Structures are given as C-alpha cells and as structure tokens.
C-alpha cells in the first residue's frame, strides 16, 4: 500500500544560506559597477564597516529570535553601550581594555534584564523589550544628552581600516562567526537554543533547562548589541544617545532576509550577517543610483520585499488551509 | 521481582473533571507492563504523572520505596524515568544527532566528542534505525523513521523505567519486531517498561503483565496470557451506558438518493481513495484509531485541503472548487463543527452572541446591521432548543463550560440551516449529561432530514447513533458496517485492521 500520513520531500533543497550569499553577491556586483570609485580598498572598507555594524546588531537579534523571542531593545542597547563607551574608552591601554570590558558587561546586563522580564516575569518578549528598551534609551540620554565624548583613536584606527587591503571589519566578522558557530553547533548549550525555538514542549520533555537557556539567549543578545555599540564608537569616535532606533527594525529585517525563522529554531549567525550585508548593500546601491531621491525609498522597499518573498516560497507547498496562517 | 514505582490512591482532576480516580498500581523492574484502555480511560494522565509533566491532586507516588514529587520532566529523568510521548519528544528543526545528544544529559558547554556521536549511532542502530542518517532533519523524516528516532532517543538515556505511548503505531510488523527485541533486552537487563498500545497482538507479543483502565479507574491487573482478547476488550468497554443514548431510529432506505457523495477522494498526506455517501436523514460514522484520515476527509469535504483528488457530488451534481466559504454558501449548505472548539470552533474572548453570529456574517445584510435578521432569530431559537446555559449573550464565550461551548459551536452552524452537518469528535471532554443532550439533538436533526457525518474517537457514540460506519485505517476505508454488524468488538477489530495484513507497506 502507499504510505499515508507521511510527507516526504525527497527533492534536493538549496541551503538557505547559499541563497542569501548568491543574492548578496549579485547586489554587491551591481553596487561595484555603479559606485564611481569601483572596486577599491576604500570602497570595500566603508562597505564592510557599515555591514559589520548591522551584522553585529543582527546577530544580537538572532539569538533572541532563535528561542522564539523578539528583541525591540537592540537599538536602545546599542545606543546605551555607545554612550557608555564614549565615557570609558580613553586613557591608557589598561584603561581602554577595562572600558571595553565594562561596556560588554553593560550590554550583557541589559540583555539579562530583558531575559528576566520574559522568563521570570512571563511578559511577552515584544512588550518586555519595548518597555526596557525605552528605559535603556532614557539612561543613554541621561548619561550624554548631546553627542560627544572621547574615544581612543588607536583602537579605532586598528578596527576600521584594512590589513594588506583586506578590511579589518571583514576579518573581525569572520573570527566572530567562527567563534560563535562552533559552540552553537557542537555544544549541548548551542543545540538547546535551537531546540527551544523548534519545540518548547519537546525541549521540556527532553530535560533541557528551558528557563536558564532562554535567559542565556537574551544575555547573548545584549552582549552582541554591546559589540555593535562598541563598533559604532570606533566608527564615529563619539557617543550618540539617538543612534539606536534604526538598528532595531533593521536587525529584524536582516535576520529575516538571512533565513532566520521568526518562529524560532531555524537559522544561523552567518545567515543573520549575510542578511545585514544585503540590507546595507541595498541602501548603498540606492545612494549611488541615479534614481530621484524621492523614489529611492520605494525601490529600496521593493527590493527588500522581493528578498523576503524569496525566503517564504515554502508557503506555496502548504497543503492545508489551516496550516497556511499559523 | 522488585517494585520500582508504586502508585497509591493517586487522583488527578482537570478543572473539576476527574481524569484519574484513586489509582493504585505497582510497576515492577524487569517486566513489560501493558496498559489497556479506550480513549479517555486515563492512560495518558498516568504517563504524564510519571513523566513529571503534571502533579497529582491526591495520593502518593513512590519510586524505589521513597515517596517522590516530581515537578518537571527533569526530576523524573533524574530518577531514570523516561517517557516517549507520541509526536512530542522530538525537536523538528534539529537533526537526528542533535535530538539524541540533547537527551543524554551530558555537560552543556563542552564541545561534543566523537565518542558521544558513536553512542548515538549505536542507540539508533539498536532499534533498527541504521538506515537513518544522523544529519537528517527530523521534520524531513517519514513518520515511521521519526518513531524509531523517538524510541532511540528514549533508550539513549539508559532508562530504568521506559514509558512507550503508542510507540509503534506507525511501524510495520517487521520493524515492530526489531523494537520488541530491544524492549525484551532492556527488560532482561532489569529495566521496567510501561507499554501502551491499541494493537492487541502487540500486547500479546511483548507484555508480561496487563493493567486495564476505564473511566480514569484502574480496573484490573493480571498476568499476560491469563485472559483472552474478548475478555480484555470486555474489561475495557465495561457496562454500556444504555440510557446515555436515545433509542435507535432506523435510517432512510438505501434507495433514497444521497445528498452528498465522495468518490476516490485522495490527498497526498493521508487520504487514499475514499468513497462515501450520506443521505438526508442519515447519520454516518467515521471510526478507527486516532488520525487514520477521518479528520482529513472532513477537511477535504469542507474545502480546507489543497490538492484533493477525486470527486464530490451534491444533489447528484458535481461539486468542485470547494472552500470553507463556498461550502457554507446557500445552495451547498455544509457546516463543519471542528475538532478543537477552543481554537477552531470559537473565538474565546468574543462574546457568546458575537460567536453565534460569526458563521452567518457573509449572509445578507453582511453583518452590517444589528437588526434581527433571519439568522438572529434562528440563533435565539437555537439557544433555547439546545438549552445553552448562559447568563447573558454578552458574556465572553470562555466563561461557559466545555459542554455549553460546544453547544454554542453547534448553534452557530445550525443557525445557517445546513443540509449536511460534519461533526468532528463533538463530545470530547464533555460531561455525560450534555453528551446525552447532544446525542438526542443529533437524532432529532437527522429525523428532520439533515445529513450528518460524525467522526468520533468514542466508539460507543458510533455504535449507538450511526446508521452506517466507515472504519478508517491509514487513510483508507477498510470496512463499512451497518445494522447488526456493528458491535464493539467488531468495531475495534476493524479499527485495528485485525483481519488484514498490517505488515504490508
């Protein structure tokens, strides 16, 4: 007899990350052809620096989305850590090193607070991170009402230029991705993050400490937001309390483009980073296109919509109307 | 033999409804203990208690002679109690390897070594899963392979008490034999196994002891082989509640033309060439084990599924391109009372009145006016007829009891005066009194000429209410029964597909 109640896809599926990478390559080629300075170290460095910044924000968002949450405080956490950096990143080498550590602690602490509100307070992630995000923005404004501050230039120069023509930002991103990917794929902790997003019930039945792991996911989100905050400081050499807002929504857009499922359990930091670079490349493309400025948002939106639609082609295979809207 | 787990006078109620009453039971190490009972007998509550998913309201559970309270599955696992729940034990987006590794309780932060992966492979091979790749995603595996992975995952944790809930339901006879060999080996090593299955021949093959549950009570425990199948089924069914059901009424003659017919209905994920007919005034039953395609047939008729092959005929004319909207339209007049009233049948936060008018919204005047249209009048009449107990139509529907909620769902659809009513397990989790009311109502409606298709997991309903019963097995109708053929034993035998070769795939 035929096997019933069984869905067998059988077909070879192209990994989602490959689709994102190809899309990025096409967009990047486009960008290089219309960018007046062409393919040069200068262009590459600017592109990589901007990309790394959003990639860090996207990785912050990735960890929270992975456990079926969402973090609306990514932008505020970036602003707060950027402001903190503008107070802490100057002086001797030792002082700067301590400053970096403190900024990371601030970010991780914010993430942990988000996690506590969600796990212990049982507040829906969208509400908890919106409220706490406002709080972080407020603290950033109190710490530095107007942009300013002092950032160590040696560190900035080391991280924002290039090494033998290769942008430092790309090298840093590669190191970060490797350092994140190994424990994520090869430790029980990393697998637990995927497990909770995939099926909370099954995770509980499997004996995973769901509350603790969820908390850790939010804390990791805060940690990567602090890295983004630090990197903004490197790029701008100031602390700006109003820098956050665009990063929250762009980080969500980046993870979606990069193939991270908002329903949890699917995706990778590499995908999130690719999504961030795709988003940045689209903006850069618009900047150098000869499109009238007022038409640019329309085309940026259209390209974004197509990119996201490519990722949800699977919907066409849904066989029951009840599943389509889940 | 030493007792591993001891239940004394354990009770569990959900919102006042008893699920398990005063159960005392001993589970011994080194034995396979089968639990028998129909749906709702308390088997799953028993397992959830053991697995630490729920806590009892009364009584004590002793493990190794020490009283224990487990709050989470982790606590149960720490004592060596591992439970394999159907469809609940695996993370679908993870690979087979990750699923098995996550259960083994190893250190969280250390990187996984080759030895751990080899152990996973060995566990999977031991249950006959050597053909399953460790890096396959669970969501992409066929159901049978998924079940093997679930069993391997449970065994991988080296349990002292292994609970298997319908663990072999999707497996072919050959694979079942491999799994049984593993179970016997574990038993011989001193592991206790709690085995829950609907397949009598599996219980005959593997069980050492058998306990029968009925209506949340432990009826009897005996050594396997001391009772024959008929006696065991007799214990499961108990005394039939004759007063629950209205007296039988003869159905329409076979010469009456069917209102709705299906021919060769197939759907890739669970229907295989199903034919059916339902006449005005007839109650048709869809029986069989859970999830054999009955639900899909209902969804196919109501236009929920995409890509259904075969033809539907209404009033002798072909009915194509059905969607829920078209199914309920005047002229077609099909209504579906869905399986899960809380998510599919009602919008819990909306008022009773609003819920009642939802199905009729698309009818003139398109819900734009609050004036008492014909549908509203029908609703008022129906709340009376169904004896829906409510204070005010403006109360949210969630304040009603389960039985009254179900009556609201029924009234919502009956307000459209359908000609064909599809009912999916309409009395699940409903108190006996309301059940009896619903049964009487269904019979009255049939008497008024409504064609009714009733899918139920409660075979007594099918036996007492239906004029004809289609029994499903793996997406096919394996038997059509009517009249005197319909007995509990015959129905169960047909549901288990006992008379045909289940080994074929």
**CA proximity to B306, closest of B324, B330, B319, B286:** B324
Least CB–CB distance from B109: residue in A6, A187, A209: A187
| Cβ contact, residue pair B142, A3, below 8 Å | yes
**Inter-chain contact B143–A5, Cβ cutoff 8 Å?**
yes
Cα separation, A24 vs A30, whole angstroms = 10
The candidate with the shortest Cα–Cα distance to B300, out of B316, B323, B283, B280, is B323
Of B268, B272, B291, the CB nearest to A319: B268
Q: How confident is the model at residue B425 (pLDDT cuts 50, 70, 90)?
A: confident
Number of neighbouring beta carbons within 10 Å of residue A233:
30
Confidence band (pLDDT; 50, 70, 90) for A323? low
Query: Which of B77, B89, B268 lies closest to A202 in CB terms?
Result: B89
Contacts 24+ apart (CB under 8 A), B202-207: B202/B168, B202/B176, B203/B34, B203/B36, B204/B229, B205/B180, B206/B32, B206/B34, B206/B180, B207/B32, B207/B33, B207/B34
What integer pLDDT is reported at residue B114 of this predicted model?
Answer: 86
Q: Do B271 and A183 touch (CB under 8 A)?
A: no
Residues of B in contact with A205 (CB under 8 A): 51, 53, 73, 83, 85, 88-89
Q: Tens digit of pLDDT for each residue in B45-104?
A: 888 899 888 889 889 999 998 998 888 888 888 899 998 876 678 998 999 999 999 988
Nearest to A192 among B102, B267, B291 (CB): B102
- pLDDT > 90 in chain A, percent: 64
Is the Cβ pair A205, B89 closer than 8 Å? yes
Highest mean pLDDT among A60-69, B93-102, B234-243: A60-69
CB B187 within 8 A of CB B30: yes
Q: Searching chain A, which residue's CA lies closest to the CA of residue B107?
A: A188
For range B367-394, the mean pLDDT: 72
The pair of structure tokens assigned to A152 is 């160590």
Over residues A293-305, the mean pLDDT reads 84
Say yes or no to pLDDT of B365 above 70.
no
* pLDDT at residue A316, as a whole number: 58
- Helix, strand, or coil here: B70? coil
Query: Is A207 in CB contact (< 8 Å) with chain B?
Result: yes
pLDDT value at residue A6: 32
β-bridge mates for residue B351, sequence order: B396
Find the residue in B nearest to A1 (Cα).
B505
What's the per-residue H, E or C state across A176-231?
A: HHHHHHHHHHHEHHHHHHHHHHHCHHHHHHHCCCHHHHHHHHHHHHHHHHHHHHHH
Residue B504 confidence (pLDDT): 37
Residue A320 has pLDDT above 60, yes or no: yes
Between A and B, how many residue pairs show a Cβ–Cβ distance under 8 A?
135
pLDDT at B147: 85
Q: Are strands B66-68 and B217-223 parallel, antiparallel or unpaired?
A: unpaired
Q: State whether residue A209 sits within 8 Å of chain B by CB.
A: yes
Domain ranges (residues) in chain A: 44-284
pLDDT at A8: 36
Q: Is it the case that residue B503 has pLDDT exceeding 50? A: no
Give yes or no for A216 touching B (CB within 8 A).
no
> What integer is the mean pLDDT of A188-193?
95
Strands (E) across B29-104 are located at 32-36, 58-63, 66-68, 81-84
Q: Checking phi first, is residue A268 left (phi over 0); if not, alpha (psi -120 to 50) or beta? A: beta
- Do the chains contact at B93 and A194, CB–CB below 8 Å? yes
Given a cut of 60, whether residue B286 has pLDDT beyond it is: yes
pLDDT at B330: 87
Give me the pLDDT at residue B87, please.
64
pTM over 0.90: no
Average pLDDT over chain A reads 89
Q: What average pLDDT does the structure give for chain B?
A: 85
Q: How confident is the model at residue A322 (pLDDT cuts 50, 70, 90)?
A: low
Residue among A110, A55, A7, A123 nearest A260 (CA): A55
Per CB-CB distance under 8 Å, the chain A contacts of B131 are none
Range among B341-355, B467-481, B484-498 with highest mean pLDDT value: B467-481
Q: What is the pLDDT of residue B505?
A: 34
Probe site for chain A from B74, B78, B93 (most A CB atoms < 10 A): B93
Task: Return the ∠ at Cα B95 (arms to B89 and B100), rounded to 5°.
Answer: 50
Grade residue B160 by pLDDT with cuts at 50, 70 and 90. Answer: very high
Nearest CA in chain B to A205: B73
- Judge whether B70 and B52 are in contact, CB under 8 Å: yes
pLDDT tens string A40-55:
999 999 999 999 999 9
Tens digit of each residue's pLDDT (9 = 90 or more) over A210-237: 999 999 999 999 999 999 999 999 999 9
**pLDDT (0 to 100) of residue B375:** 58
Classify strands B283-288 and B451-455 as parallel, antiparallel or unpaired: parallel
Q: How confident is the model at residue B364 (pLDDT cuts 50, 70, 90)?
A: low
Helix (H, G, I), strand (E, B), or coil: what is residue B477? strand
Assess A323–B contact: CB distance below 8 Å, yes or no.
Answer: no
From chain B, the residues in CB contact with A7 under 8 A are: 268-269
From chain A, the residues in CB contact with B291 under 8 A are 5
For residue A4, which residues of chain B lie inside 8 Å, CB to CB? Answer: 269-272, 293, 474-476
pLDDT score for B342: 78
**pLDDT, tens only, A76-119:** 999 999 999 999 998 899 999 999 999 999 999 999 999 999 99
Residue B402, pLDDT > 50, answer: yes
Q: What is the pLDDT of residue B489?
A: 80
What is the pLDDT, as a whole number, of residue A13? 60
pLDDT by residue (tens digit) across A120-179? 999 999 999 999 999 999 999 999 999 988 888 888 998 999 999 899 999 999 999 999
Q: Which residues in chain A are closer than 8 Å to B299, comparing Cβ atoms?
A: 320, 322
Q: How many of the other CB atoms lie within 10 Å of CB of A6?
A: 18
Q: Please give the average per-residue pLDDT across A31-35, as a whole number.
A: 90
Q: Where are the alpha helices (DSSP H) in B426-486?
A: 432-447, 459-465
| Span A11-22, average pLDDT | 75
CB contact under 8 Å between B505 and A208, yes or no, is no
**A208/B304 Cβ within 8 A:** no
Where is average pLDDT lowest: A133-142, B105-114, B356-365? B356-365
Structure tokens at B212: 């029968």
Label residue B320 by pLDDT band (50, 70, 90): confident
pLDDT at A10: 39
* A326 pLDDT higher than 60: no
What one-character-per-residue DSSP string does B329-348 give?
A: STTT-EEEE-S-IIIII--T
Q: Which of B53, B102, B307 minimises the CB distance to A188?
A: B102
Kindly state the average pLDDT of the residues B126-147.
Answer: 87
Say whether B101 and A208 touch across the interface (CB within 8 A). no
Structure tokens at B264: 């060769």
pLDDT at A7: 35
pLDDT value at A4 more than 50: no
Res. B486: pLDDT tops 60: yes
Confidence of residue B384 (pLDDT cuts 50, 70, 90): confident
The answer to whether residue B433 scores a pLDDT higher than 60 is yes
Interchain proximity A1–B53, CB inside 8 Å:
no
Cβ separation of B91 and A202 shorter than 8 Å? yes
3 state SS of B209: strand
**What is the C-alpha separation between A272 and A274, in angstroms, rounded?**
5
Mean pLDDT of B190-203: 84
Which residues of B fall within a CB distance of 8 Å from A202?
A: 88-91
Question: What number is the ipTM of this complex?
Answer: 0.84
Measure in Å the smallest separation between the Cα of B448 and chain A Cα atoms: 32
Cα–Cα distance for residue pair B85/B43, rounded to 1 Å: 12
Which residues share a beta bridge with B192?
B161
Cβ–Cβ gap B111/A183 under 8 Å: yes
Q: Tell me what percent of the residues of chain B surpass a pLDDT of 90.
A: 34
Q: Look at B165 and B375; give whichever has higher pLDDT.
A: B165
DSSP bridge pairs for B223: B209
Burial class (CB in 10 A: 0-12, 13-18, 19+), A141: middle
* A199 interfacial to chain B (CB closer than 8 Å): yes
Q: What percentage of chain A reaches a pLDDT higher than 70?
A: 90
Structure-token pair, residue B50: 């053991």
Res A189 pLDDT > 50? yes
Q: Which of helix, strand or coil describes residue B481? A: strand
Give, as one character, the DSSP assignment of residue A109: H
Q: In order of start, what are the domains of chain B with their CATH numbers?
A: 3-237 (3.40.50.300), 259-333+418-497 (3.40.50.300), 349-416 (no CATH)
| pLDDT band of A314, cuts 50, 70, 90 | low
Q: How far does A23 lie from chain B, in Å, by closest CA?
A: 24
Q: Closest Cα to residue A213, out of A224, A203, A205, A223?
A: A203
Distance to chain B for A212, nearest Cα, Å: 11
Give the pLDDT confidence score for residue B243 in this predicted structure.
65
The answer on pLDDT for B123 being more than 50 is yes
- Is a pLDDT exceeding 70 seen at residue B240? no
Under 8 Å CB-to-CB from B363, ≥6 apart: which residues? B330, B373, B375, B416
CA distances from B412 to B225, B380, B456 (A): 50, 11, 20
Q: Which among A5, A192, A194 has CB closest to B474?
A: A5
Over residues A282-293, the pLDDT tens digits come to 989 888 888 888
Name the closest residue on chain B to residue A317, using Cα atoms.
Answer: B306
Check CB contact under 8 Å for B106 and A188: yes
Q: Is the pLDDT of residue B368 over 60?
A: no
Cβ contact A4–B90 (<8 Å): no
């Amino acid at each position: 007899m035929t096997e019933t109640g069984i869905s067998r896809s059988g077909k070879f599926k192209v990994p989602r990350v490959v689709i994102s990478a190809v899309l990025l390559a096409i967009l990047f080629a486009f960008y290089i052809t219309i960018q007046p300075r062409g393919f040069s170290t200068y262009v590459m460095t600017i592109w990589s620096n901007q990309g790394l910044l959003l990639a860090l924000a996207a990785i912050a968002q990735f960890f929270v989305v992975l456990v079926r949450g969402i973090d609306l405080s990514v932008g505020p956490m970036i602003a707060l850590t950027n402001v903190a950096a503008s107070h802490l990143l100057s002086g001797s080498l030792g002082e700067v090193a301590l400053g970096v550590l403190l900024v990371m602690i601030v970010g991780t602490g914010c993430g942990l607070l988000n996690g506590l509100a969600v796990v212990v307070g049982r507040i829906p992630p969208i509400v908890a991170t919106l409220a706490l995000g406002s709080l972080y923005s407020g603290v950033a404004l109190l710490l530095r009402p107007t942009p300013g501050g002092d950032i160590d230039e040696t560190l900035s120069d080391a991280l924002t230029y290039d090494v033998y023509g290769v942008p430092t930002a790309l090298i840093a991103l590669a190191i970060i991705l490797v350092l994140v990917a190994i424990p994520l794929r090869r430790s029980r902790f990393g697998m637990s993050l995927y497990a909770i997003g995939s099926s909370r019930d099954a995770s509980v039945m499997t004996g995973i400490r769901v509350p603790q792991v969820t908390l850790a996911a939010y804390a990791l989100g805060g940690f990567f937001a602090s890295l983004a905050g630090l990197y903004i400081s490197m790029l701008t050499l100031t602390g700006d309390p109003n820098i956050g807002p665009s990063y929250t929504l762009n980080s969500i857009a980046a993870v979606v483009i990069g193939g991270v499922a908002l329903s949890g359990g699917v995706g990778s930091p590499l995908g999130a980073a690719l999504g961030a670079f795709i988003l940045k490349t689209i903006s850069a493309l618009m900047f150098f296109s000869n499109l009238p400025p007022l038409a640019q948002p329309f085309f940026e939106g259209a390209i974004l919509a197509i990119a996201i639609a490519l990722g949800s082609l699977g919907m066409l295979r849904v066989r029951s109307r009840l599943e389509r809207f889940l | 033999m030493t007792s591993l787990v001891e239940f004394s006078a354990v009770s569990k109620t959900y919102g006042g409804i008893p699920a398990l009453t005063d159960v005392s039971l001993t589970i011994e190490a080194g034995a396979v203990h089968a639990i028998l009972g129909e749906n709702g007998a308390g088997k799953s509550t028993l397992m959830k208690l053991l697995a630490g998913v729920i806590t009892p309201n009364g009584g004590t559970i002793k493990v190794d002679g020490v009283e224990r309270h487990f709050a989470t599955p982790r606590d149960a696992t720490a004592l060596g109690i591992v439970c394999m729940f159907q469809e609940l034990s695996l993370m679908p987006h993870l690979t087979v390897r990750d699923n098995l590794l996550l259960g083994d309780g190893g250190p969280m932060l250390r990187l996984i070594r080759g030895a751990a992966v080899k152990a996973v492979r060995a566990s999977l091979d031991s249950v006959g899963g050597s053909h399953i790749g460790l890096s396959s995603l669970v969501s992409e595996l066929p159901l049978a392979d998924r079940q093997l992975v679930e069993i391997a995952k449970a065994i991988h944790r080296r349990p002292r008490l292994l609970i298997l809930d319908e663990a072999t339901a999707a497996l072919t006879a050959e694979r079942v034999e491999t799994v049984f060999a593993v179970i016997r080996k574990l038993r011989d090593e001193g592991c206790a196994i709690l085995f829950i299955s609907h397949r009598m021949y599996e219980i005959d093959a593997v069980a050492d002891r058998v306990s029968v549950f009925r209506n949340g009570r432990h009826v009897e425990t005996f050594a396997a082989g001391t009772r024959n199948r008929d006696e065991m089924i007799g214990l499961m069914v108990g005394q039939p509640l004759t007063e629950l059901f209205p007296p039988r009424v003869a159905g329409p003659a076979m010469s009456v033309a069917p209102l709705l017919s299906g021919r060769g209905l197939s759907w890739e994920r669970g229907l295989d060439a199903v034919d059916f007919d339902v006449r005005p005034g007839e109650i048709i039953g869809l029986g069989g084990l859970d999830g054999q395609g009955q639900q899909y047939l209902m969804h196919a008729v109501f236009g929920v599924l995409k890509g259904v092959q075969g033809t539907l005929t209404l009033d002798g004319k072909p009915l194509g391109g059905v969607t829920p909207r078209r199914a309920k339209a005047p002229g077609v007049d099909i209504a579906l009372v869905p399986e899960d009233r809380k998510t599919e049948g009602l919008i819990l936060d909306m008022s009773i009145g609003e819920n009642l008018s939802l199905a009729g919204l698309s009818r003139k005047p398109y819900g734009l006016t609050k004036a008492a249209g014909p549908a509203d009048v029908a609703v008022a009449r129906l709340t009376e007829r169904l004896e829906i107990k409510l204070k005010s139509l403006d109360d949210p529907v969630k304040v009603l009891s389960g039985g009254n909620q179900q009556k609201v769902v029924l009234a919502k659809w009956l307000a459209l005066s359908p000609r064909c009513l599809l009912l999916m397990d309409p009395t699940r989790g409903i108190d006996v009194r309301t059940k009896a009311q619903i049964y009487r109502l269904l019979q009255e409606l049939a008497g008024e000429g409504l064609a009714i298709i009733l899918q139920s997991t409660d075979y007594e309903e099918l036996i007492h209410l239906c004029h004809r019963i289609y029994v499903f097995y793996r997406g096919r109708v394996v038997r059509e029964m009517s009249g005197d053929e319909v007995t509990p034993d015959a129905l169960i035998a047909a549901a288990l597909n006992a008379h045909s070769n289940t080994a074929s795939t």
